Amino acid sequence: MAGAGIIEGETGAQKLLGYVLDVGRGDGRARCHLTVTADHTNRHGMLHGGIVATILDNAMGATGSLSRDPEGRYPFLTISLNTQYLAPAREGEALMAVGRITGGGRKLLFIKGELHGPGDRLVATATGVFKPVSQTPREDRP
């Protein structure tokens, strides 16, 4: 996957897990893509729940970023994330998480995420609170 609005290999976590962010659809919603490999599974052979939360968190945080920057690179911090696991995902499945802003304002955004598998099967959902990070250096920081 390559092209305008695609972010690959930007962070250590992204390189390690191999997910790709798509922030270029023009609808204010970021998407996070991951194809499940054996490296992503738990002892039961299913996608590990921590990776589910990570993929949702990335789609949701990048969705927040799109509210400030059309290229989806404005930094946001996750304040809270609640994840609901609905169905397993297995090795070989291509997954897509998508975020949607549901409320908030200038200082905090409320964002919902959905993780879908093949056939648009809903694997997990999440809700979270996200905060934009000031990009101006402050003198009182060490």
Q: Tell me: the pLDDT tens digits for 15-68?
A: 999 999 999 999 999 999 999 999 999 999 999 999 999 999 999 999 999 999
d(CA 2, CA 27): 18
> CATH homologous superfamily for 6-132?
Hotdog Thioesterase (3.10.129.10)
CB 1 within 8 A of CB 24: no
**What confidence score (pLDDT) does residue 141 get?**
46
**What confidence score (pLDDT) does residue 134 get?**
82
**What confidence score (pLDDT) does residue 104 get?**
97
**What confidence score (pLDDT) does residue 47 get?**
98
**What confidence score (pLDDT) does residue 31 get?**
98
The tokens of 141 are what?
Answer: 């920081």
3-state secondary structure of 52: helix
- The rounded mean pLDDT for the chain is 93
Mean of pLDDT values over 7-21 = 95
Band of residue 1 on the pLDDT scale cut at 50, 70, 90? low
CB 36 within 8 A of CB 91: yes
Mean of pLDDT values over 65-83 = 95
d(CA 87, CA 117): 9
- The pTM of the full predicted model, rounded to 2 decimals, is 0.91
